[in-house]
Amino acid sequence: MKIVAIIGARPQFIKHFPFELACKDKVELITIHTGQHYDDNMSEVFFTQLKMSTPNYTLHVGSGAHGEQTGKMMIEIEKIINRATPDGVVIYGDTNSTLAGALVASKLHIPIFHIEAGLRSFNKKMPEEVNRVLTDHISDLLFVPSAIAVQNLKSEGIEQGVFEVGDIMKDLVQYVTKNNLLSNHTPKEKNYYYTTIHRPYNTDNKDRLGYILDVLNHLDKKVIFSLHPRTKNLAASYRLNLDDYSNINFIEPQSYFSNLGYLQGSEGLITDSGGMQKEAFWLKKKCVTIRKETEWKETLIDDANILLFDNLSTLQDEIKKTPKSWNDTLYGDGNSASKMVGGILQFLN
């Protein structure tokens, strides 16, 4: 069987690696990298250290307005799929690359297999929410990480082709920890909180970003802040002097291994990322999410993860609270990719 897989953003590299491993000797896998986001740090880890195959096609679409970016992707993806004539198309998550691939495959009547389906933040101001809802409604197989995701789909009338297989990102975290791949990526720093902030509702307003930085600057431990290029550029445009925040150590965006290394060595995570909420849980690190909602509601059980947004005055207290317990089976057993490949082959046969 011949499958086209479409990746385009940092989290999709993470999801694609375990899927590629599971496809070996079972499926002919053709990978399209849209170039929606490109990070040499990220690519270097997957292509050299983990030996992930170089994508068969790289589109170099780059950034741009949502419609422009998605349209450019669709034009190029359609050309490739028409040449490759695959038996199915795999898409990951909720980016513009996800939606572009799903729309093209749907128009060409090619089966769509959505990995990480069924998630809902119920906030349609987030472009990711629109992408994932539309994609789920035109997918043939929907691989979901949890019972809540199954219920989300059921409430929208989607019950056929839904498979609860766990989270494919857990496959990679287990692979990395079992093979001791973080040993060379443990930071020298001790006794710190790790932070990543990049979403528009936290960065697109000077007062909001300044407020978050001020709260972080007054925490009881040093803060190591992995500074997303978007956040860095906006801070500069607001004329916020990062040197004024003496308790915050701003560092460049980290590779996958280094990012996990900083998280593993921390006293807790403060983030607005989606995937890092899960990674913190699996590494048993307390997480405070600077958002009003999360797609990963299961991480909120027993206070392993806490949502804070409007009033951050309790951040210090929340980050120090010890979770009541850790569920080692959350989001599967680390074999999600194999279950997905098995499901795809069964469907196609």
312, burial (CB in 10 Å: exposed 0-12, middle 13-18, buried 19+): middle
Can you tell me the distance from the alpha carbon of 58 to that of 150, in angstroms, rounded to the nearest whole number?
33
Can you tell me the distance from the alpha carbon of 228 to that of 254, in angstroms, rounded to the nearest whole number?
9
The answer to whether 198 is a known catalytic residue is: yes
Handedness of CA 331, 332, 338, 340 (dihedral sign): negative
Please say whether the beta carbons of 86 and 56 come within 8 A.
no
Give CA 12 to chain center in angstroms.
7
| Marked catalytic residue, from 16, 33, 198, 228 | 198
Please say whether the beta carbons of 88 and 348 come within 8 A.
yes
Which residues make beta-bridge pairs with 194?
A: 224, 269
Residue 86 is which amino acid? P
CA distances from 248 to 4, 147, 193, 287 (A): 43, 38, 10, 18
Catalytic residue list: 198
